[in-house]
Amino acid sequence: MTRKTGIALDESVKILNVDEIKDMDKIREKYEHLFKMNDPKDGGSLYLQAKVVRAFERVQIEYMQNIARHEAEAKASSESEGKTTGADDKATSADVKPADADKK
């Protein structure tokens, strides 16, 4: 549960009726449908509409955290690969000939 939304992720997923948090367009469509269905002006429940809003906010937070986590992992992976390949690019003292070696 986050302090910002006051709702747990598993509850949010159930409210929005989603299986996984990967396609935000589909999740947004479900959110908009549920929001309209629970509009108090059309006889819906303000309480349920608020739950739908909080659930959507919680899913958005989780989605953004997943993106940030994947980007950090990708960056760490590319940096670690760069360190292993970068070592091969450096010349060692055994690779460098003295300047007067060709003159002899």
Which CATH number belongs to the domain containing residue 24 in this structure?
1.10.287.110
Q: Is residue 98 part of a domain?
A: no
* Domain enclosing residue 60, as ranges: 9-79
Q: Is residue 55 part of a domain?
A: yes
3 token code pair: 């302090």
pTM, two decimals, is 0.70
Q: Is residue 4 part of a domain?
A: no
CB burial of residue 9 (10 Å; 0-12, 13-18, 19+): middle
Q: For 21-47, how does the pLDDT look when each residue is reduced to its tens digit (9 = 90+)? A: 999 999 999 999 999 999 999 999 999
- CA–CA separation, 16 vs 22, rounded Å? 13
- What pLDDT does residue 100 have? 55
CB burial of residue 60 (10 Å; 0-12, 13-18, 19+): middle
Q: Is residue 91 part of a domain?
A: no
Count of structural domains, the chain: 1
Q: In angstroms, what CA-CA distances link 5 with 2, 52, 75?
A: 6, 11, 30
